[in-house]
C-alpha cells in the first residue's frame, strides 16, 4: 500500500532533499579535495576537525533548542542556520591552505548540523505520532536520492573539468551548486509547515535557556525509557556518524582511487532510497525498537568487514551497498521513535539533548579513530574500535521498556 503524505509532510521531507546535498559532498568529494590541500595523511587532521565541529555543536544545541521551542522560533532558527551554512559552503571554494579550509568547513558543519535540531523537532509539527516512522523514513529516503541530482552535477565538474578548469575552480562551482540547492529546498518547509507545538515567549530567553538545561537533563534522566534510549543512541549513532564522516578518508588512506570512492558512495545513495522506505514500513509492522536493533547488528557486521576485509575498490563498493541497506532506516527510526517519546511542546529542547548525544558521541568516535590511527599508523585498527560502540548501544537498547515503544505505536 502506498503512503500518501500531506502538503506539510512533503514540505518537511523536501528539506532533507536540500541539506543532503551538502551531507553527501562532505562525505565524499570534500575529504578527497582536502587531501589534495593537506601534507601527509589526511585522516588524522580530518578526524580532529570533525571533533572540533562536534564539540561546538554539542555545546550549542541544548541552549538553542530550548529557545527554539518558544512560539514562532523554530523556523527563524532554521533560516539563521541555513543562511550561515550556505555562505560557509560557498566560502569553502576559496582557501588554498589546509588550515583555512578546515576552519570554514567547521563553520559550515556546525551550521548544517545545528539546522538538523530544528528540522528534527519540526517533525512533531508536520505529522502525527502514528505516521512519524514512515514520514521520517521518507525524509531520509528522498534525501538520499534527491541529493544525487546536484551531486552528479558537481561530480561532472570535478572529474571532467570542462574548459580546462582547475580542481579549485571545479570545487568552487560545486560549492555554489550545493548551497543553492540547500536553500531552494528549504523554502517549501518554511512556507508550509507551521509550529503548532510551542512554549510561550520569554523575556530573557537566553538566560532562561542556560538555566533550564539542568532541569531538562533531570527530567530526561528520571524517565527510564528516554534515559536508556538516549544512552543507547549515544553509542550506536556514534558508530554510524563516524563511518559516514571517515569512510572516504579511510578508503583514500588505503590507496583506493578517489573516483572509485565517490562512485561507490553514490551507489549508497541509490540503495538507501528504497531501503529507508522499507525500513519505515517494517518498523510500523514489527516495532520500531526491534528494527533499530537489527540496524545496530547490521552496522556491527559492516564495521568488522571494513576493518578486516576492506583493501580494494571492489570491497569498498560492497561496503557502500551494505551501508545503504541500514543507514537511512536506522537514522530515520531513531529520530521518529524519539519524537514519539518526547513531550511535543518541548520537542526542540529534548531534540537538543537527543542530538547533543549524537554529535557529542561523534567526538568520541572520530577522536578514537584519529588517535588510534596516529599512534599505530594503521587505519584498520582505528576502524575496528568502532565495534565496541555498537555493542554497547545494542545492549543498552535492550533495556528500553518494550511497552514504551508499543505504547507509542498503538
Taking CA atoms, 222 is separated from 219, 354, 395, in Å, by 5, 15, 20
Mean pLDDT (the chain) is: 84
Mean pLDDT of 260-283: 85
CA atoms within 13 A on the CB side of 400: 28
**Residue 406 clears pLDDT 50, i.e. is over it:** no
φ, ψ of residue 199 in degrees (nearest 5): -105, 160
Q: Per residue in 19-44, pLDDT tens?
A: 988 988 887 788 878 888 877 666 67
Please enumerate, as own/partner, the contacts of 167-170 that have beta carbons within 8 Å and a separation of 24 or more: 167/33, 167/36, 168/93, 168/96
Judge: domain 8-191+212-409, CATH 1.20.120.1200. no
The whole-number pLDDT of residue 86 equals: 97
Q: Per residue in 369-384, pLDDT tens?
A: 777 778 888 777 888 8
At residue 385, the 3 state secondary structure works out as coil
The whole-number pLDDT of residue 243 equals: 84
Of 217, 236, 381, the closest CA to residue 307 belongs to 381
Please give the model's pTM, rounded to 2 decimal places.
0.75
42 and 34 in contact (C-beta within 8 Å)?
yes
Q: What is the DSSP letter of 4?
A: P
Least confidently predicted of 106-110, 185-189, 356-360: 356-360
Band of residue 121 on the pLDDT scale cut at 50, 70, 90: confident
Of 150, 135, 181, the closest CA to residue 10 belongs to 135
292 and 337 in contact (C-beta within 8 Å)?
yes
- The CA-to-CA distance between both ends of the chain, in Å, stands at 19
CA dihedral of residues 394, 230, 48, 52 (deg, nearest 10): 180
φ, ψ of residue 70 in degrees (nearest 5): -75, 155
Q: Per residue in 325-356, pLDDT tens?
A: 998 889 889 988 888 888 877 777 788 778 77
Of 56, 87, 53, the closest CA to residue 176 belongs to 87
Q: What percent of the chain has pLDDT over 70?
A: 91
Of 188, 136, 191, 197, the closest CA to residue 348 belongs to 197
How far, in Å, CA of 377 to CA of 382, rounded? 9
How far, in Å, CA of 349 to CA of 14, rounded? 23
280 and 136 in contact (C-beta within 8 Å)?
yes
The whole-number pLDDT of residue 41 equals: 62
Mean pLDDT of 254-281: 83
How far, in Å, CA of 284 to CA of 282, rounded? 5
The whole-number pLDDT of residue 177 equals: 96
Band of residue 408 on the pLDDT scale cut at 50, 70, 90: very low
Mean pLDDT of 295-316: 89
The whole-number pLDDT of residue 114 equals: 87
Q: What percent of the chain has pLDDT over 90?
A: 27
The whole-number pLDDT of residue 396 equals: 95
Q: Per residue in 244-258, pLDDT tens?
A: 777 777 777 778 887
**Residue 92 clears pLDDT 50, i.e. is over it:** yes
The whole-number pLDDT of residue 18 equals: 94
The whole-number pLDDT of residue 301 equals: 94
Buried b (16+ CB within 10 A) or exposed e, 301-327: ebbeebbeebeebebbbbbbbbbbbbb
CA angle 38, 360, 108 (to 5 degrees): 45
Mean pLDDT of 47-73: 79
Between 194 and 357, where is the model more confident? 194
The whole-number pLDDT of residue 284 equals: 81
Amino acid at each position: 500500500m502506498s503512503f500518501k503524505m500531506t502538503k506539510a509532510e512533503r514540505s518537511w521531507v523536501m528539506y532533507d532533499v536540500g541539506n543532503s546535498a551538502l551531507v553527501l559532498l562532505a562525505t565524499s568529494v570534500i575529504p578527497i579535495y582536502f587531501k589534495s590541500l593537506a601534507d601527509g595523511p589526511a585522516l588524522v587532521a580530518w578526524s580532529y576537525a570533525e571533533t572540533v565541529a562536534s564539540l561546538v555543536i554539542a555545546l550549542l544545541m541544548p541552549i538553542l533548542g530550548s529557545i527554539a521551542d518558544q512560539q514562532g522560533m523554530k523556523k527563524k532558527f532554521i533560516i539563521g542556520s541555513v543562511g550561515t551554512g550556505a555562505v560557509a559552503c560557498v566560502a569553502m571554494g576559496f582557501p588554498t591552505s589546509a588550515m583555512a579550509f578546515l576552519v570554514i568547513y567547521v563553520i559550515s558543519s556546525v551550521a548544517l548540523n545545528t539546522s538538523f535540531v530544528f528540522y528534527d523537532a519540526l517533525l512533531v509539527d508536520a505529522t502525527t505520532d502514528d505516521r512519524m516512522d514512515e514520514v521520517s523514513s521518507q525524509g531520509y529516503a528522498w534525501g538520499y536520492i534527491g541529493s544525487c541530482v546536484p551531486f552528479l552535477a558537481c561530480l561532472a565538474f570535478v572529474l571532467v573539468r570542462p574548459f580546462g578548469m582547475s580542481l579549485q575552480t571545479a570545487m568552487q562551482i560545486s560549492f555554489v551548486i550545493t548551497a543553492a540547492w540547500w536553500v531552494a529546498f528549504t523554502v517549501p518547509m518554511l512556507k508550509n509547515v507551521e509550529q503548532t507545538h510551542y512554549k510561550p515567549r520569554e523575556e530573557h530567553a537566553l538566560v532562561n535557556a542556560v538555566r533550564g538545561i539542568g532541569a531538562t537533563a533531570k527530567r530526561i534522566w528520571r524517565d527510564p525509557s528516554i534515559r536508556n534510549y538516549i544512552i543507547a543512541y549515544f553509542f550506536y549513532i556514534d558508530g554510524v556518524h563516524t563511518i559516514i564522516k571517515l569512510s572516504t578518508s579511510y578508503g583514500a588512506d588505503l590507496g583506493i582511487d578517489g573516483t572509485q570512492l565517490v562512485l561507490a558512495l553514490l551507489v549508497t545513495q541509490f540503495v538507501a532510497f528504497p531501503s529507508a522506505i522499507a525500513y519505515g514500513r517494517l518498523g510500523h509492522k514489527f516495532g520500531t525498537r526491534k528494527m533499530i536493533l537489527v540496524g545496530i547488528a547490521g552496522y556491527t557486521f559492516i564495521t568488522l568487514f571494513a576493518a578486516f576485509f576492506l583493501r580494494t575498490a571492489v570491497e569498498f563498493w560492497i561496503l557502500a551497498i551494505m551501508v545503504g541497506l541500514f543507514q537511512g532506516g536506522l537514522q530515520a527510526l531513531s529520530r521518529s521513535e524519539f519524537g514519539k517519546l518526547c513531550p511535543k511542546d518541548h520537542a526542540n529542547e529534548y531534540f537538543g539533548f537527543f542530538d547533543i548525544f549524537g554529535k557529542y558521541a561523534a567526538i568520541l568516535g572520530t577522536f578514537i579513530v584519529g588517535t588510534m590511527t596516529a599512534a599505530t599508523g594503521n587505519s584498520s585498527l582505528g576502524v575496528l574500535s568502532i565495534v565496541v560502540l555498537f555493542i554497547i548501544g545494542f545492549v543498552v537498547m535492550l533495556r528500553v521498556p518494550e511497552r514504551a515503544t508499543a505504547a507509542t505505536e498503538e
